[in-house]
Structure 1
């Protein structure tokens, strides 16, 4: 089977023993914090490797032993000449190499795997390259990091997405999108691709207006969450009570909304800190990634509503709620109590 060369070579290791290992063109290592992207890429890679004859993969999702994995890598499918094996979060990444002999046999099996077998090893995290498992696999496998985009990269990635689809975004829509992105807690490439496809289909004559952008964005990022944040800063308790049922609709929406609130509060806190230290407006805008006059004016308006101490108070309270929710399964009453207490600190009753 030909060498498909899907990945660039990773940085070589210092160990002489590892430098002697051959990089396998049918063995890939995917890692990072974007599990959706990992799952999408591993399927895409075997489809590109095998083409039209791509087999259904055998999947080990945090399961199996060295013997199980080696059996599948060495084995021949009864229904196809080709086979694919997915190892997601294998034990040697989760708990370290505890069986030295078993790991050595597994590596030998990888090195001897025929071209009719494709192996994708994935880890939902960043492996420590100093550890034996990571050091060895980075040398044998082609590798790719699958992590969430950094905030500063999301807008340019979206611009490229629209360009590939031959869609024109109006200036008003672009400014709106730029401001919305700053509130996203996580930015996943598959999510952006899906949103671009949806927006492109909604575009009239290949042009995306602000109205289309507002309607196309996920429900947790529509204008309701912006209105809710404004009501919260105004300490408008009655409005906050009315907003909550439509904002915190389920666990996923709650996580996204909390991520939005936290990012906005952190931005306000940083603004106050930098102003207190004498930083110029231009420097503050650069640090906070603010590129438009509209976004800057919105931030100035928000910082007049809430002090640095108040932003810190609410940030800490939201963090404590999220921590308690992960450990103990805190219910929604704890969250609403935090929001109501904040509103009662000198606000509208």
Structure 2
């Protein structure tokens, strides 16, 4: 189940004895683990000492032994299995032969997971997508809870945003909403920890219930890739004067040319992809999935792409590749970036 449903059920239902927290998004896994601990040890501020941390390749028989062992100095026996290998997909006959001996041990573990001792709890954590066909996965799903912590990208960050706004008791106006998704789409890597902290700061310093674009601009002002956001917008609008002014301002403010170059290359590539897709009849919000962008941002990018000739975008990509080499080897300066911006914004 997704994070929101997982946390809701965890808060409402009796705590299960088996959990699987699987996926790439560590932010969700960490929050889920902390909430599990809070539910298991409501009166302890730091219950970590009450947890046994085990390696992911632990022998299933050893795990069974630990689960069936009564705790000596506590009421609960809580085990955390990190990087659990038991849920990974197997490939081919050779893999089956190698694991044949382990299967009997795994079957014994599955039996215990179906009928857990009342004093034991086990949390499996895996960075991999689990193989849902495996019997051990089905055992955890049937008697416990499974969190699918899918990596958060620009196109699927909406769930996180809505949960965060709900927790803050705030809303966003349309301009703020579009600005947020546009800013996030510029991030090469999305850190939910960072966004979480910045929204918490915003809640402290903004008394209004509705968050505005201006509020968010203050939050993201320190991020180079987001501060370049206005430059990309000017290029999309083919406003050459504004784009050159913003480019020079970025360079004067100390933004590394490599950051600008990488983001400009990404933006031109997305415009080119959008142009090709639209030529095939894929338009509007339907561009979101192939471009891996929020639907509103994809639609906006599509409108911008319609104003460019495909040949212009192709030549700009080639010039950016050349600029990357020449600027890194000291053979040219920021004038190469200016040249690309002029080419993109020229209305010919």
- For the Cα contact (< 8 Å) 1:89–1:124, is it kept in 2? yes
**Number of equivalences:** 308
Q: Aligned partners of 2:274, 2:39: CA distance in 1, in Å?
A: 47
- For the Cα contact (< 8 Å) 2:21–2:124, is it kept in 1? yes
- For the Cα contact (< 8 Å) 1:269–1:311, is it kept in 2? no
TM-score w.r.t. the length of structure 1 is 0.65
SS in 2 for 1:143: strand
Q: Aligned partners of 2:136, 2:340: CA distance in 1, in Å?
A: 56
1:299 equivalenced with 2:304 (yes/no): yes
Change (3 A) 1:302 1:37: farther
1:265-344 equivalence runs, <5 A: 265-277=268-280, 283-288=283-288, 289=294, 291=296, 295=300, 299-300=304-305, 303=308, 307-310=312-315, 336=328, 344=336
1:33-182 equivalence runs, <5 A: 33-52=24-43, 56-94=50-88, 96=90, 98=99, 99-149=102-152, 151-155=154-158, 157-159=160-162, 161-182=164-185
Change (3 A) 1:271 1:102: same
- For the Cα contact (< 8 Å) 2:180–2:216, is it kept in 1? yes
Change (3 A) 1:84 1:335: farther
Q: Offset at 1:273?
A: 0.6
Change (3 A) 1:338 1:312: farther
- Can you give the 5+ residue segments of structure 1 that lack an aligned partner in the other structure? 10-23, 319-331
Q: CA RMSD, aligned part only?
A: 5.0
- Can you give the 5+ residue segments of structure 2 that lack an aligned partner in the other structure? 1-7, 91-95, 289-293, 343-348
TM-score w.r.t. the length of structure 2 is 0.65
Q: Aligned partners of 1:201, 1:339: CA distance in 2, in Å?
A: 48
Q: Aligned partners of 1:152, 1:95: CA distance in 2, in Å?
A: 27
Change (3 A) 1:102 1:301: same
